[in-house]
Amino acid sequence: MNRRNHFTQAIRVANFSTIKFPADFRLDMDSTDVAAIVRQIRRYADLPYVFVVSEDQVDRVRAVLVALGAMRSPCYPHAIFHLSDAAPDIDAPQVEMIRLASSEPGAVSEKIDAYAADRLRFDESRLRLGNAGQPPQQVDVVIVGGGITGLYAASRFQQSGISFCILEKRDRIGGIWSMYANATSRVNTSEAAYRLIEPQLRSNRDHSATKEILEDMTELAASVSDGVFLETEVTRIEKTNHQQYQIHYTRGEKAAVIRSKGVILAINDRVGTPREAAWDNLSAYRGRIVSGISDKAQGVDWHDKSVVIVGMGAFAIENARTALEGGASHVTVVCRRHGTVCPKIIDYLNFATPYDEAFKHDKKSNIRNMMYWKKTYEISGATQPECWMGKVKHEGHTISVSDIWFVGHFLKKIETVTGEITGMFENGVIVNGERRVDADIVVNCIGFERNHSIAKQLSGYTEMTNINYVDRNFMYLADAYIDDDAFNSFFGSSVLEMAKFYMEVFISAFDSPLYDEIMATPGIERVTLTDRRWSQYIAGAMALVNRFQDLRDVAQRQVARRTDNFLEKHDLVTYIEENKREWIDLHAMLAGKPLAEDECMPYVFERLLPR
Ligand SMILES: Cc1cc2nc3c(=O)[nH]c(=O)nc-3n(C[C@H](O)[C@H](O)[C@H](O)COP(=O)(O)OP(=O)(O)OC[C@H]3O[C@@H](n4cnc5c(N)ncnc54)[C@H](O)[C@@H]3O)c2cc1C
């Protein structure tokens, strides 16, 4: 049984020819009905596509491409492999035309495999783009940090005619995605709510992969690269007497200053340096210990191994998936308390369900979704978070989105053990000083220190407002501590959605008297700079949309655009078809053989289909 599944790095081939070449993910397109073909292709939207096209199929493929392009489907292919001497007469932007020298099945597979190996690898050197010259002495706004937030801010300033520069201390852009993400990482949030670029043709896949996020960041950075200065570390931000800021930085040996009217501090508040684990008796352990971040576990052979994952945050859930996809015989997650995990469809519903005037979902939908979620826990045998049903998640935790978590529990491939690792023995870990858990491989996913003191050190401020303003024209725009109410807002669970809204606030009030009106809004409060929380900027955003019609319009447009993108990509019926197919495939992958639907964990979400 092939262990690579739809979440791993592979390519799906839609075969519009009679060649039966071997491929792990080949779909033969036998139908002549274009709508039926498009439906079939969309059901498999989880891998990047290429097409193999014989000459007699060109008309059909043309029609399929028009349909997929019109809905900016992630299934729009990256390449078309053809047998004719000349490239087929297909007007397909962003699609490589690749000639197959032979129709011999083995040769076709080889050519596609070689293409996939190249296409699925992200060349990190692409992130090293910026202006090699000296930063300007004066700009409208200095952006500190070249992660996703800083780059998004730069693109909005460029569109708005506000001059800017990004100062990034590392030798590359990408922030946390280029520092700690694994090649196998995926965005937790469903794609349309973590969309950096509105594509013309092909959106990223749902729960986009690291490569897709880095490619989008590279594309965005290329459009603002004149204003990006790498290896430039901001050391101090000072306010002058004239409502200006002086940004002190070092670049190589040199220290210098930029004067600006504004500052966007886009340095992550929530995710700082990785926590260090200190376990006793390490030398007794004969297995392998790896870190679950920064691709440190790349190349590990999981096949038939028993794996212990330490921690239960997003990286822990991701590494459990990677181990199971790699063929681990069993995964035990050791955690102090159970993080909240939700099936993919709950995250989809959370974004696709309409909001009311107060940007809330109706109670009925919330209760219905919660009921399905709870049922998924019960049927799978996974342990519910200790805080349920009073709170949806523990304070400080995020919600991880994963179907394999539930399918794995149902098939008894995964379990959790609560407690702390107090030491190691020859064959595994010791939990709470007594329980021994065997492990061939131990994966460390114990999370990150917070970054929250750095903003204070750089700026000298101790307080700011709950709408991210530290001072006039100075915003601290970063992911904050995820407290209880983090998911109950029009931002959903997405930092990017939060940044999109607040960038519009910043641009509207930049160097304008509107800033003073905003500050006088009831509900705008002072908060501690080193203790920012999601609930604070959610409450601040609501105060703004309740007071300013223009900002309410901004929020409504943002939500409408996002919802349209969700529905364009997959309405509920398409989503359920896609998700159910993945669900059953997951069982086959974990069981090592195809399972009949009645042997799988019941896919209860079909009951959500409109009658
Ligand atoms: C695998 C993965 C999945 C994720 N999934 C989600 C999700 O589903 N939803 C969600 O909302 N979030 C998710 N996140 C969380 C993530 O923190 C945010 O989404 C987002 O990437 C944060 O970007 P940022 O630009 O604010 O910060 P960062 O990416 O941390 O970038 C900050 C930048 O500032 C630079 N910097 C710091 N100090 C200085 C200085 N003094 N001078 C100059 N430069 C400096 C740093 O070098 C860094 O490049 C995920 C993260 C990962 C890795």
pLDDT score at 493: 79
- Indicate the residue among 105, 121, 137 that finishes a domain: 121
Residues in contact with 436: Cβ distance below 8 Å, sequence separation at least 6, in sequence order:
425, 427, 428, 429, 430
- For 209-293, list the strands marked E by DSSP: 228-229, 232-239, 245-251, 254-265, 288-291
**Same domain for 325 and 401?**
yes
Boundary-marking domain end, from 121, 137, 168: 121
Nearest to 266 by CA among 127, 474, 462, 531: 474
> Is residue 194 a contact partner of residue 152, using CB atoms and an 8 Å limit?
no
Torsion angle of C-alpha atoms 293, 297, 298, 302, degrees rounded to 10: -140
Report percent pLDDT > 90 for the chain: 86
Q: Is 180 in the pocket of ligand 1 (CB under 6 A)?
A: yes
Q: Which of 151, 351, 495, 502 to mutate to test the pocket of ligand 1 (most atoms within 8 A of CB)?
A: 495
**Residue 270: is its pLDDT beyond 60?**
yes
Q: How many percent of the chain have pLDDT more than 70? A: 99
Q: Which domain holds residue 55?
A: 6-121
Residue 4: per-residue pLDDT:
45
Looking at the structure, do residues 475 and 460 belong to the same domain, yes or no?
Answer: yes
Residue 112 lies in a domain: yes
Q: Determine whether the shortest distance from the Cβ of 146 to ligand 1 is under 6 A.
A: yes
Within a domain: residue 570? no
User: Of all protein residues, whose CA lies closest to atom 20 belonging to ligand 1?
Assistant: 148
The verdict on 381 and 519 lying in the same domain is: no
In a shared domain, residues 306 and 435: yes
Ligand 1 neighbour 500 (Cβ under 6 A): no
Which pLDDT belongs to residue 9?
64
Q: Is there an atom of ligand 1 within 6 Å of 477 CB?
A: no
Residues near 5 by beta carbon (within 8 Å), at least 6 away in sequence:
325, 585, 586, 589
Tell me the C-alpha distance between 145 and 161, whole Å. Answer: 20
Q: 11 CB less than 6 Å from ligand 1?
A: no
Using alpha carbons only, how large is the chain's radius of gyration in Å? 25
Closest-CA residue, ligand 1 atom 27, reads 268
Same domain, 52 and 116: yes
Cis omega (within 30 of 0) for bond into 519: no
Q: Please determine, for residue 526, whether its predicted confidence score (pLDDT) is greater than 70.
A: yes
C-beta of 149 in contact with ligand 1 (< 6 A): yes
> 604: helix, coil or strand?
helix
315 C-alpha to ligand 1 centroid (Å): 14
pLDDT of residue 390: 83
Same domain, 602 and 504: no
In terms of Cα–Cα distance, which of 24, 22, 72 is closest to 45?
72
477 CA → ligand 1 middle, Å: 11
Cβ–Cβ < 8 Å for 236, 458: yes
The answer as to whether 311 is a domain residue is yes
Give the model's confidence band at 7: pLDDT under 50 very low, under 70 low, under 90 confident, else very high. Answer: very low
Query: pTM for the full model?
Result: 0.96
Residue 555 located in a structural domain: no
Query: Which atom in ligand 1 lies closest to the alpha carbon of residue 173?
Result: 49
Q: What is the pLDDT of residues 457-487, one digit of tens each?
A: 999 999 999 999 999 999 999 999 988 777 7
Whether 445 lines ligand 1, by a CB cut-off of 6 Å, is no
List C-alpha distances in Å: 562 to 190, 497, 505. 11, 9, 18
For residues 420 and 434, the answer to whether their CB atoms sit within 8 Å is: no
Q: Are residues 324 and 230 in the same domain?
A: no
477 and 414 housed in the same domain: no
Atom of ligand 1 nearest to the CA of 167: 43
- C-beta 442 within 6 A of ligand 1: no
- Among the listed residues 473, 472, 476, 450, the one whose alpha carbon sits nearest the alpha carbon of residue 529: 476
Q: How many residues does this entry show for the chain? A: 611
User: Looking at residue 55, which CATH number applies to its domain?
Assistant: 3.40.50
- Distance in Å, CA 542 to ligand 1 centroid: 24
- Of 268, 296, 458, best ligand 1 pocket probe by most atoms within 8 Å of the beta carbon: 268
Which positions ≥6 away from 547 have C-beta within 8 Å?
A: 521, 522, 523
- For residues 390 and 489, membership in a common domain is answered with no
- Amino acid 528: pLDDT: 96
CA 439 to centroid of ligand 1, rounded, Å? 32
Q: Would 147 be classed as within a structural domain?
A: yes
Testing ligand 1's pocket by substitution, the residue of 142, 176, 454 carrying the most ligand atoms inside 8 A of its CB is 176
- Burial class of residue 558, CB neighbours in 10 A (0-12, 13-18, 19+): middle
* Mean confidence (pLDDT) of the chain: 94
Whether residue 292 is found in the same domain as residue 438: yes
Q: Are residues 289 and 425 in the same domain?
A: yes
For ligand 1, is residue 153 a contact (CB within 6 Å)? no
Tens-place pLDDT, residues 14-25: 999 999 999 989
Distance 412 CA to ligand 1 centre (A): 35
Give domain status of residue 563, yes or no.
no
What is the residue-wise DSSP string for 2-65?
A: ----TTSS--EEEEESS-----TTEEE-----HHHHHHHHHHTTTS-EEEEE-GGGHHHHHHHH
Shared domain check, 196 and 184? yes
166 lines ligand 1 (CB under 6 A): no
Residues 373-420 have pLDDT tens digits of: 999 999 999 999 999 988 888 888 889 999 999 999 999 999 999 999
The alpha carbon of 367 and the centre of ligand 1 are apart by a number of angstroms equal to 33
Q: Where does the pLDDT of residue 242 fall: very low under 50, low under 70, confident under 90, or very high at 90 and above?
A: confident
Q: What's the start-to-end Cα distance of the chain, in Å?
A: 37
- Here the CATH number for the domain that contains residue 322 is 3.50.50.60
Mean pLDDT confidence for 161-166:
98
Atom of ligand 1 minimally distant from the CA of 185: 1
Which atom of ligand 1 is found nearest the CA of 479?
26
Counting ligand 1 atoms within 8 A of each CB, the residue from 128, 206, 232, 267 with the most, and so the one to mutate, is 267
Q: Does some domain include residue 560? A: no
For residue 147, report the distance from its CA to the centre of ligand 1, in Å: 5
Tell me if 558 is assigned to some domain: no
Flag whether pLDDT at 175 surpasses 80: yes
Please name the residue whose Cα sits nearest to atom 36 of ligand 1: 145
Nearest CA to ligand 1 atom 8: 188
378: left (phi over 0), alpha (psi -120 to 50) or beta: alpha
* Whether the Cβ atoms of residue 497 and residue 148 lie closer than 8 Å to each other: no
Predicted pLDDT of residue 5: 40
Which of 91, 121, 151 is a domain's end point? 121
For residue 230, how far is its CA from the centre of ligand 1 (angstroms)?
Answer: 16
The two tokens of residue 364 are 């009925």
pLDDT bracket for residue 6 (50, 70, 90): very low
Number of structural domains found in the chain: 3
37-64: pLDDT as tens digits: 999 999 999 999 999 999 999 999 999 9
